């Protein structure tokens, strides 16, 4: 299953398979300055969502 998304400053896709999530995300200049924080929060959200 693949979701495509686009918004001001970011666009990409999220592919979900039985054993993994694969996200491809391109950030614009302004959001790019927050790349590390965005990535950390996405990882935490996915951990929380996939916890038993």
pLDDT above 90 for 40: yes
pLDDT > 70: what percent of the chain? Answer: 100
Distance, in Å, from the CA atom of 45 to the CA atom of 25, rounded to the nearest integer, reads 16
User: How high is the mean pLDDT of the chain?
Assistant: 93
Q: Within 10 Å of residue 7's Cβ, how many Cβ atoms?
A: 9
Q: Give the model confidence (pLDDT) of 8-22 as tens digits.
A: 999 999 999 998 889
pTM: 0.74
Which pair of structure tokens corresponds to residue 3? 């979701």
Q: Where are the domains of the chain?
A: 2-50
**If phi over 0 gives left and psi between -120 and 50 gives alpha, with beta otherwise, what is residue 49?**
alpha
The DSSP-derived string for 1-52 is -EEEEEETTEEEEEEEETTEEEEEEEE-HHHHTTHHHHHHHHHHHHHHHH--
Tell me what the mean pLDDT of segment 2-12 comes to: 95
Q: Given pLDDT bands bounded at 50, 70 and 90, which one contains residue 29?
A: very high
């Amino acid at each position: 299953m693949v979701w495509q998304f686009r918004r001001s400053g970011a666009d990409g896709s999220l592919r979900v398979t039985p054993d993994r999530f694969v996200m491809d995300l391109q950030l614009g200049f302004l959001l790019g300055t927050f790349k590390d924080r965005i990535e950390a929060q996405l990882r935490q959200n996915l951990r929380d969502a996939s916890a038993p």
